[in-house]
């Protein structure tokens, strides 16, 4: 049994360096592609979230219990991007 294992190891040994080289570079490329995809998706999501106008609306209360007095269910969500009740703040000193 040990002779068979020894024979297999000596037969595979010339192929181990190229196999390990290809495997290491494949794993490195996959990690880089994964990080690139995550960064791209994060930027896309951030751009979409920055389109939400709630903080500049006069009906936005900035209170976690009641974020919006007109449409509290969609306040600070993607549904609020085209809110029909949006009114810009008239007093710039109010936050």
Q: Is residue 1 part of a domain?
A: no
Q: How confident is the model at residue 95 (pLDDT cuts 50, 70, 90)?
A: low
Q: Tell me: do 59 and 95 sit in the same domain.
A: yes
Q: Tell me: do 57 and 78 sit in the same domain.
A: yes
Q: Is residue 86 part of a domain?
A: yes
Q: Tell me: do 33 and 69 sit in the same domain.
A: no
Which of the two residues, 25 and 58, has the higher pLDDT score? Answer: 25
Q: Tell me: do 73 and 35 sit in the same domain.
A: no
Q: Is residue 61 part of a domain?
A: yes
Q: Tell me: do 71 and 89 sit in the same domain.
A: yes
Q: Tell me: do 89 and 58 sit in the same domain.
A: yes
Domain that residue 43 falls in = 19-50
Q: How does the average pLDDT of the chain come out, rounded? A: 89
pLDDT of residue 43: 97
Give the 3-state secondary structure of 46-88: HHHHCCCCHHHECCECCCCCCCECCCCCCCCCHHHHHCCCCCE
């Amino acid at each position: 049994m040990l002779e068979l294992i020894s024979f297999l190891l000596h037969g595979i040994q010339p192929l181990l360096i190229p196999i390990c080289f290809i495997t290491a570079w494949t794993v490195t490329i996959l990690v880089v592609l994964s990080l690139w995809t995550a960064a791209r998706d994060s930027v896309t999501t951030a751009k979409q979230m920055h389109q939400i106008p709630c903080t500049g609306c006069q009906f936005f209360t900035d209170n976690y219990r009641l974020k919006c007095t007109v449409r509290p269910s969609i306040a600070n969500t993607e549904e609020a991007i085209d809110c029909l009740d949006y009114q810009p703040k008239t007093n710039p000193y109010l936050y």
